[in-house]
Amino acid sequence: MERLEVRELVYFTAVAEELHFGRAAARLGMAQPPLSRAVQQLERRLGVTLLDRSSRRVALTEAGAVLLRESRRVLDAASAAARRTRRAGRADPCLVLAVKPGGDGGLLPAILDAYQAEPGALPVELVWGFGEREVLLREGHVDAALLHRPHPDLTGLDTQDLLTETQLLVMPRSHRLAGRTRVCLNDLAGEPLPRRPGASEGGSHGPEVHDLGQLLHLIALRRMVAVLPSSIRGQLRDDLVAVPVDDAEPTTLVLAWPEHATSPALAAFVRAATAVAGSATGHGG
């Protein structure tokens, strides 16, 4: 059984994504002939043709499509391995948490306090991200992330539900819906909504947004509106209003971490977060 090397998978992935050996080679910073040879060799070793190449067009075969998907998993796992190992070896151990600005449901201060009270708590470093927190987690940039269900794909992650919230439509005071006490999703037809990074271009979407302040600013500028968990209430500028969206699916704040994680520091953090969420459940909305 031949062994598959990371380098080969990187090369194949580049070609499979570009469907063009020249461009793939450029992207890899190498010449085209060795790239062609590497892919051929990979095909020979696997005993499978991965690409149909007619000197005018390159296309993935069925097996090639399988390998592309599997390669991404391998490469993700490899870079996650490197990053997690490096982080574990740092002289100053700390716990890295990915949070969406304004997306902590107001629980984060209490969670951090509770965690620092745990025995053996490490300093917590926060990484701010919008849509890419799940990727940060999968690729080993962070130890844990606060995500919002139902949006991200949680397979391969362990999770702890923290808080379920209804959602609000946030808009400028002058907006046509600003006087309503409640709206439903149909009312939003045609409204520019923030684009989730990586989301398809369908529908009416505004510019990509990476920061809560920027988002609120854009809303105030009437460039868009947004549907957000009700806990942002406390962070709104006074030129914005928020009303419940009746039929928007409630969103659940979840703490997620890589499955099979063994770090005691992470375990303590999960304990702390769970405790805080549990005690908060009765009170707020």
Which residues of the shown chain bind DNA in the complex (CB under 7 A)?
7, 20-22, 29-34, 36-41, 53-56, 58
How far, in Å, CA of 97 to CA of 251, rounded?
Answer: 20
Length of the chain: 285
- Which residues lie near a second copy (CB under 8 A)? 1-7, 9-10, 46-50, 61-63, 65-67, 69-71, 73-74, 77-82, 84-86, 88-89, 140, 155-156, 158, 259-260, 262
Q: Which partner in a second copy, DNA, none is near 20 (CB below 5 to 8 A by kind)?
A: DNA
CB of residue 135 to a second copy, shortest distance in Å = 15
Whether the upstream peptide bond of residue 150 has omega within 30° of 0, thus cis, is: yes
Half-sphere exposure of 100 (CA within 13 A, CB side): 26
Q: Which partner in DNA, a second copy, none is near 207 (CB below 5 to 8 A by kind)?
A: none
Nearer to DNA, 58 or 193 (CB): 58
Nearer to a second copy, 110 or 154 (CB): 154
CA 173 to each of CA 12, 176, 178, 186, 220: distance values in angstroms, whole numbers, following the listed order: 52, 9, 6, 20, 8
Nearer to DNA, 34 or 264 (CB): 34
CB of residue 12 to a second copy, shortest distance in Å = 10
How far, in Å, CA of 17 to CA of 58, rounded?
Answer: 10
CB of residue 35 to DNA, shortest distance in Å = 7
How far, in Å, CA of 179 to CA of 41, rounded?
Answer: 66
CB of residue 262 to DNA, shortest distance in Å = 25
Q: Which partner in a second copy, DNA, none is near 217 (CB below 5 to 8 A by kind)?
A: none
Residue 209: CB atoms within 10 A of its CB come to 22
Nearer to DNA, 54 or 181 (CB): 54
Nearer to DNA, 58 or 75 (CB): 58
Q: Which partner in DNA, a second copy, none is near 34 (CB below 5 to 8 A by kind)?
A: DNA
Q: Which partner in a second copy, DNA, none is near 58 (CB below 5 to 8 A by kind)?
A: DNA
Nearer to DNA, 43 or 104 (CB): 43
Sheet holding 144-149, edge to edge: 124-128, 95-99, 144-149, 251-258, 157-165
Q: Which partner in a second copy, DNA, none is near 29 (CB below 5 to 8 A by kind)?
A: DNA
Nearer to DNA, 43 or 134 (CB): 43
CB of residue 63 to a second copy, shortest distance in Å = 3
